[in-house]
Chain A
Amino acid sequence: MDRASIPNHRPPRREQPLAIRIAHWSNVVFLVIMAGSGLQILTAYPALGPRGEQYSWYPFQNTPPPEWLTLGGWLAGGRHWHFAIAWFFVANGLFYLIYFSASGEWRRRLFIPGRDFGNAFKQFAYYLRLRKNPPDPDFYNGLQRMAYSSVILFGVIMVLSGLAIYKPVQLHFLAVLFGGYDGARVVHLAGLCLFGIFVLIHLILVATHPRELLKMITGGHRA
């Protein structure tokens, strides 16, 4: 079959196209600043729940996060960093999502349960040593797709819950979505924890599969 007869033919893309690499490494910088300044802000009131009714289920009530994890020096500094970089974080996220959808990259990256659930399950069984061999990956394995797709969702939830905390009156509908201002603070902190868990696992897996790190730098092969 000659090329012209293939509809919508495009030259093959690298495994990690430039747009994705740019978004990924920008996100590393933005996420570090957002997390550090966010923890600085949390330090001012390291508790969940309104005054007089702090939630009894939260184990770290009135325990500030470790200082070495904070960025901004004091509450106002933390807020300025947080609200400054938030725009870049959102812009980078939109850039990624637009590229992700428009380029068709979503086909090999998005977790589609019908296609990926079985593969994810087998990969999980492999990690638990219940299976001898990992399932055949199709660019990414099902677990990777699940992780990379959920972290996009975490990002959206972080932005929306953050806006609800920032403007609980002007954006009251967002605060309602998260169970009010104090509910939005819970979601925002839970989102940070999920991001933290994702990054931790991500770094461990990258450390054990260094070739993947190189791909995120050079782009890898044209697939």
Chain B
Amino acid sequence: MPKLIARRKFITGAAALSLLAGCESRPAGAFLNLMREFNEKAEEWLFSPSRLAPELPESATTPEDAFPQYSILPEIPEAPPDWILKIGGLVHRPMSLSLDDLQRMPATEMRVQHHCVEGWSAVASWRGVRLSVIAKMVGLDPSVRYVEFKSFDANYYSGWDLASAMHPQTLLAYSMNGHPLEPGHGAPLRLYSAIKLGYKNVKYLTEVNFLPNKIGGYWEDQGYEWFGGV
């Protein structure tokens, strides 16, 4: 009865595979880790520091109430009254910047597509200062390879590769769709980049540290991809 055998084979095969996935068995875990590291290298190889995400017309803008607002804290995180952004790590001139300081710096505005790891996309325009401009101001030590972004949304943070952080479409953004950032979208200041998945774009920024060593991130530490480029 080859017909039955075929079907049984197929079903048991599928069941074995789903078991493998469900119980984090060691060989499967080791294989996935190996492939994850391989994919991270592939992502880094594919990333071009000069390739720009297309800028979109105003008509492409997502209605703002339809643009999701995620945070770790159960309520929308609120900025402390004495909020200030610290730029540190291995830099020649560490700085503390107020929102006014940032708004006086040369601004960049871009309307780009947002890609969430969950699979949805949305479009908004973002205005802010290129991180590369700030890096030039503080002066990076030659050993810097990574950038750490910290927030006041619980312990949310994310670590980036330097090349992505220096991309011309990676901004410290204080404005969305022409008005100051709303609390749900990361007020007073958030990281926004057209070349990374949403969870890499840390909202409610408090610190930017230029570092020689690689660090993880809130979701990255739980298993999401570290590079997270798009």
Contact = CB atoms under 8 A, between A and B. Distances in A.
Interface stretch (A96-104, A151-159, A167-175): A167-175
Interface string B116-158: 1111111100000000000000000000000000000000000
A182 B21 contact: no
A19 interface: no
Contacts of A208: 3
Contacts of B105: none
A162 interface: no
Interface string A65-105: 00010011111110111011001000000000000000000
A18 interface: no
Given A84-B36, A203-B10, A213 B2 contact: yes
B46 A170 contact: yes
Contact of A181 (B32, B46, B115, B229): B115
A51 B119 contact: no
Interface in B1-53: 2-3, 6-7, 10, 13-14, 17-18, 21-22, 31-32, 35-36, 38-39, 43, 46-48, 51, 53
A84 B31 contact: yes
A160 interface: no
B84 to A, nearest CB: 32
B229 A84 contact: no
Contact of B230 (A52, A75, A168): A168
A71 B68 CA distance: 26
Contacts of B68: 51
Contacts of A192: none
A185 interface: yes
B116 A168 contact: no
Nearest to A52: B66
Interface in A199-221: 203, 206-208, 210-211, 213-214
Interface in A161-205: 165, 167-172, 181-182, 185, 203
Interface stretch (B71-79, B177-185, B207-215, B219-227): B219-227
Given A76-B222, A213-B2, A169 B118 contact: no
Contacts of B22: 73
Secondary structure type dominating chain A contacts: helix
Interface stretch (A38-46, A112-120, A123-131): A38-46
A55 to B, nearest CB: 13
B32 A47 contact: no
Most buried by B among A28, A37, A51: A51
Contact of B119 (A42, A77, A206): A42
29 contacts: A32-B14, A32-B17, A33-B17, A36-B17, A37-B21, A44-B119, A50-B121, A51-B66, A51-B68, A52-B67, A72-B21, A73-B21, A75-B118, A76-B224, A76-B225, A80-B36, A84-B36, A167-B43, A168-B230, A169-B194, A169-B195, A169-B230, A170-B230, A181-B115, A185-B119, A208-B3, A210-B3, A211-B2, A213-B6
Interface of B: 2-3, 6-7, 10, 13-14, 17-18, 21-22, 31-32, 35-36, 38-39, 43, 46-48, 51, 53-54, 62-63, 66-68, 113, 115-123, 194-195, 219, 222-225, 229-230
Given A167-B230, A170-B46, A203-B10, 12 more contacts: A36-B18, A37-B21, A50-B123, A71-B17, A80-B35, A80-B223, A81-B32, A83-B35, A169-B53, A169-B194, A170-B51, A214-B2
